[in-house]
Amino acid sequence: MVTGERINSVEAENAHNPVLHRLTSPRSPQARTPRSPKARTSLSPQARTISADNLASYQDAFAASPINRLMQNAVTESPITKVAMDRSIAVGIDKTVSHRLDDWKVTNQKKSGRCWLFSGLNSLRYAAAKQLNVQDFEFSQNWMLFWDKLEKSNYFLESMIDLADADADDRTVHHLLSDPIGDGGQWNMFVALVKKYGVVPKSAMPETESSSCTASLNEALQTLLRQGAHDLRALIAAEGGKAAADPQKVDAAKQDILSNIYRVLAIHLGTPPTDFEWEWQDKDKNFTRAGRMTPLEFAEKYITVELDDYVCVVNDPRPTSEYGKTYTVDRLGNVVGGTPVTYLNAPIDVLKTAVKETIVDGDPVWFGCDTNKQSSRDLGIWDAHLYDYEGAYSLDLTLDKANRLIYGDSLMTHAMVFVGVDVDDDGNARRFRVENSWGEDIADKGFFTMNSTWFDEYVFEIAIHKDRLPADLRAVVDAHEEPIVLPAWDPMGALA
């Protein structure tokens, strides 16, 4: 899934845990008979080990270069990011922009992988704050987390039911079991939650210990869901397979699992309110009491954009991913029957122009990217050449964006919001101002600066109004053709 980055680590904080022993035990009706050693894949007989001569060659080559010894002295005493940083970029970057929206404080997802929820809500709070005439306003991120976890649990269990006749080590089943309920998500998943559950102000469902640090909650949910997967698959196998199983009996078993999931969520996150009293004081010291509201009523009043008019545009330059086509990822979603995850693939300049024009017209833009690359948290800088690793290691690093995706070197890890752009005299976007969700203690009080070069290489996705698209791509969206389905493990299924 998309693994969004958290404040202290990559957002896939407890993904890829081993499948529970019960799923692979020979007693399990879904487990295959253990293979004999002869059936296992092994290296070719021609595979060669590292010889003593090889080692001597490596050592001689290293020792022959004074630069290697110099870098060894430097990097054994200082982090490689300090040694390899291009100081001309770090010092020379201008953080001012010609068009800037923000005059508010950043939010803080803390030790959680909720960047996509934070950035989704942050993209909407700008208009809500103006409507309320307040300086700083936050929707409840904990509210969204609760419903996302519950809906993801149902989505996972439905997938396990649907795939019940497949072996437990089937690639899709194994992929889903490796991370049944991570923190990450996509724009369309955010929209599905807002449309079904609405939103509430942060005061109506504030943060808890577990919403700000989700590891323990996720561990409990993952165990429950893997156990639930085992039990559902065992039930269906005992009934003679998916086609013969009684759907009502299977659904009843699923509901029991979901009831347990709800209990764990309520213990960790609190009970979501069905309605709440809404009142506030604005910037002019005026007090307003709006009375009791439901979350859906609150969303209808304070979300001022039509979310169904927004489309996810991605830049996937792999040869197998044609521009001007729509794509989806197998088994990726949260709300069953909700807004499906759908991408429109386009050249990077289409994304950049759409972001520029949207900000110039006064609206922020949600986006997904790979913040693990060429990034300085402390300085708040993203530039494609910020670190000269080629010079530091005396290597040629030649993978382009497409091959970084193909060979697993890059994918979406984090979601944020564009809130500013610097446009030069020729109308080109030179750099962007970014609202992050890592708190105020880094960068420019939590706001980052992204150079155009970094946008080209490491931005993968934006959520944009369909009217911002060129006519040919708008026609693709309006045609509503069935998207091409990518496998569940495809890098475009990475969750921010």
> Could you tell me if 337 and 228 lie in one domain?
no
Is pLDDT above 50 for 286? yes
Tokens of 293: 């509201």
pLDDT band per the 50, 70, 90 thresholds, residue 15: very low
Given this model, what pLDDT does residue 39 score? 52
Tokens of 177: 């079991």
Query: What's the CA gap between 149 and 268, in Å, rounded?
Result: 12
| Residue that terminates a domain, selected from 301, 324, 357 | 301
Q: Which residues are catalytic?
A: 115, 414, 436
- Domain contains 192: yes
| Residue that terminates a domain, selected from 235, 270, 301 | 301
Is the pTM higher than 0.85? Answer: yes
Query: What's the CA gap between 136 and 459, in Å, rounded?
Result: 28
Q: Which ranges constitute the DSSP H helices of 307-451?
A: 348-360, 389-393, 401-406
How do residues 425-454 score in pLDDT, each as one tens digit?
999 999 999 999 999 999 999 999 999 999
Cα-based distances in Å from 285 to 135, 280, 282 = 12, 9, 5
> Could you tell me if 230 and 282 lie in one domain?
yes
Q: Are 491 and 332 in contact (CB under 8 A)?
A: no
Determine the residue type at 244: A
Determine the residue type at 246: D
What CATH number corresponds to the domain at position 120? 3.90.70.10
> Could you tell me if 297 and 383 lie in one domain?
no
- Domain contains 62: no
Average pLDDT, the chain: 93
Nearest to 331 by CA among 116, 460, 186: 186
Rounded to an integer, what is the distance from CA 378 to the centroid of its chain?
22
Query: What's the CA gap between 102 and 375, in Å, rounded?
Result: 22
Which structural domain, as residue segments, surrounds residue 326?
A: 87-106+305-493
Instruction: State the pairing for strand pair 375-376/343-345.
Output: unpaired
How do residues 168-193 score in pLDDT, each as one tens digit?
999 999 999 999 999 999 999 999 99
Number of structural domains found in the chain: 2
Nearest to 161 by CA among 243, 218, 233: 233
| Residue that terminates a domain, selected from 254, 277, 301 | 301
pLDDT band per the 50, 70, 90 thresholds, residue 456: very high
> Could you tell me if 341 and 469 lie in one domain?
yes
> Could you tell me if 376 and 297 lie in one domain?
no
Q: What is the dihedral of CA 399, 404, 407, 413, to 10 degrees?
A: 150
Instruction: State the pairing for strand pair 459-465/365-369.
Output: antiparallel
The SS3 call for residue 122 is helix
